[in-house]
């Protein structure tokens, strides 16, 4: 009898323990099932973290806004953020993990073209939707990928004639030695020639280069009216400092397709960057009601880590809201249903103005701005509404060829 009683009590205790634990297990499983997972892969450390950190802050803020408004399809978004540490191998590793282990609905990721091209085929293979929210050289043609950043036909097309008229016809180009810099330099030459100017020389610099002394000596000898910069990354900020130290900033102006995206106007002194001209799809100083309302909400929360909001960060914010609009329209997170919804002339109007998806290219029509650097900020000089991605449209037509999956090197004839 005693043995039986002990057995009974032991069994009863085990049963009782199961009953007590079950609700928490069920709640946890339900919570996991009741979220929509979204992944972010950016450089939060390493040489390109100056770009990545503001992008992730804006992505977090967009997710908070969407969740605060009730989420999507009655579910909250769970953002899984990976730090690629400016390491291409980690981009591939994290893209694989996000697609296979986490089974996310969408990935917002990448800064350089190398990072994008490392993860784009991975996400294509695993049928995971991809948003690339960075300014780049154009040419990606992939139905699984949406590009919300500006391309040369949008910002270089406006910057070159503006600066030729303002500074003179002789240009010297300095650019990062990879896809973006090489192809952007060709567009600079094309637009310069079309507007009666001349590119005297183009010099390319690997991302790790920080000594620009010999290059500055060459530029001094060439005597251009101004320098056009497509430099990228923390090391290349040294060019602007060394340019000022040489005294060249007092005689030869600088224009750039990238200045400001890496917070260069914050890192350099007002004397070093005074009068620099840049062209982007967004500047924090835009005076629209939508932008001021955004900054009023964003900066009190994220202003410590993101002191200045860049165009890359804002297009990441727009990209998340565009994807959310696609989910709402599709009433599903199914990849193909969302793609088809996004191809239905979807747009999002926010701090940068209107970002409208072009169904043919999966790129966006954007508002473009020209601004002058002043006192660690920018003064907006010109705005050009709804510039189409004409360069990529010349080589990519996903309506006719939905199975395209490559980056075209656009033939820039000069």
- Residue 407 main-chain phi, psi, to 5 deg: -110, 120
Q: Specify the pLDDT at position 4.
A: 46
How high is the mean pLDDT in each 10-residue block of the chain (414 residues)?
44 42 41 84 92 97 98 98 96 98 98 95 98 96 98 96 98 95 95 97 95 96 97 91 95 95 92 96 97 98 94 98 98 98 96 97 98 96 97 96 92 72
Which of 234, 224, 283 shows the shortest CA–CA distance to 254?
224
Q: Tell me 363's DSSP state.
A: -
Q: Which CATH architecture has domain 34-151+285-365+390-407?
A: 3-Layer(aba) Sandwich (3.40)
Token representation of residue 183? 């192809």
CATH for 156-280 is 3.40.50.2300
Q: Tell me 249's DSSP state.
A: G
Token representation of residue 324? 């959310």
Write out pLDDT tens, residues 368-384. 999 999 999 999 999 99
Question: Which parts of 34-149 fold into alpha helices (H)?
Answer: 49-68, 88-100, 113-125
Write out pLDDT tens, residues 312-344. 999 999 999 999 999 999 999 999 999 999 999
Instruction: Provide the CB-side half-sphere exposure for 192 (13 A, CA).
Output: 25
- Residue 198 main-chain phi, psi, to 5 deg: -140, 130
**Cα–Cα dist 367/160, whole Å:** 17
* pTM (predicted TM-score): 0.89
Q: Are 244 and 58 in contact (CB under 8 A)?
A: no
Token representation of residue 380? 């907006």
Domain boundaries, the chain: 1-27, 34-151+285-365+390-407, 156-280
Which of 349, 371, 348, 346 shows the shortest CA–CA distance to 359?
346
Domain 34-151+285-365+390-407 matches domain 156-280 at the CATH topology level: yes
């Amino acid at each position: 009898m005693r043995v039986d009683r002990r057995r009974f009590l032991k069994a009863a205790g085990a049963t009782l323990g199961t009953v007590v634990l079950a609700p928490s297990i069920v709640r946890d499983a339900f919570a996991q099932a009741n979220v929509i997972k979204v992944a972010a892969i950016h450089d939060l450390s390493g040489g390109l973290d100056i770009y990545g950190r503001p992008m992730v802050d804006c992505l977090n803020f967009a997710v908070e806004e969407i969740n605060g408004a009730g989420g999507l399809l009655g579910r909250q978004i769970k953002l899984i953020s990976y730090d690629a540490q400016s390491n291409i191998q980690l981009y591939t590793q994290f893209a694989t993990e996000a697609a296979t282990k986490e089974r996310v609905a969408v990935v917002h990721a990448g800064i350089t073209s190398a990072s994008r091209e490392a993860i784009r085929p991975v996400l294509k293979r695993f049928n995971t939707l991809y948003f690339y929210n960075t300014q780049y050289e154009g040419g990606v043609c992939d139905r699984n990928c949406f590009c919300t950043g500006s391309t040369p036909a949008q910002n270089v097309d406006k910057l070159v004639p503006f600066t030729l008229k303002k500074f003179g016809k002789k240009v010297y180009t300095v650019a990062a030695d990879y896809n973006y810099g090489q192809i952007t330099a060709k567009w600079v030459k094309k637009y310069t020639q079309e507007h009666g100017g001349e590119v005297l020389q183009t010099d390319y610099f690997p991302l790790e280069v920080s000594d620009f002394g010999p290059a500055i000596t060459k530029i001094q000898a060439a005597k251009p009216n101004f320098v056009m910069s497509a430099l990228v990354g923390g090391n290349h900020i040294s060019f602007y400092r060394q340019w000022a130290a040489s005294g060249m900033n007092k005689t030869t102006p600088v224009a750039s397709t990238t200045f400001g995206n890496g917070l260069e106007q914050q890192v350099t002194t007002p004397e070093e960057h005074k009068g620099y001209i840049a062209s982007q799809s967004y500047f924090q100083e835009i005076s629209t009601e939508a932008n001021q309302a955004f900054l009023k909400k964003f900066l009190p929360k994220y202003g410590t880590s993101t002191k200045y909001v860049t165009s890359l960060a804002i297009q990441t914010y727009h990209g998340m809201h565009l994807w959310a609009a696609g989910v709402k329209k599709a009433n599903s997170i199914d990849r193909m249903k969302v793609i088809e919804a996004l191809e239905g002339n979807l747009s999002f109007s926010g701090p940068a103005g209107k970002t409208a998806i072009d169904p043919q290219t999966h790129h966006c029509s954007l508002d473009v701005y020209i601004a002058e650097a002043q006192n660690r900020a920018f003064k907006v000089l010109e705005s050009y509404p709804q510039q189409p991605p004409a360069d990529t449209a010349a080589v990519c037509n996903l309506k006719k060829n939905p199975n395209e999956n490559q980056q075209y090197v656009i033939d820039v004839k000069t």
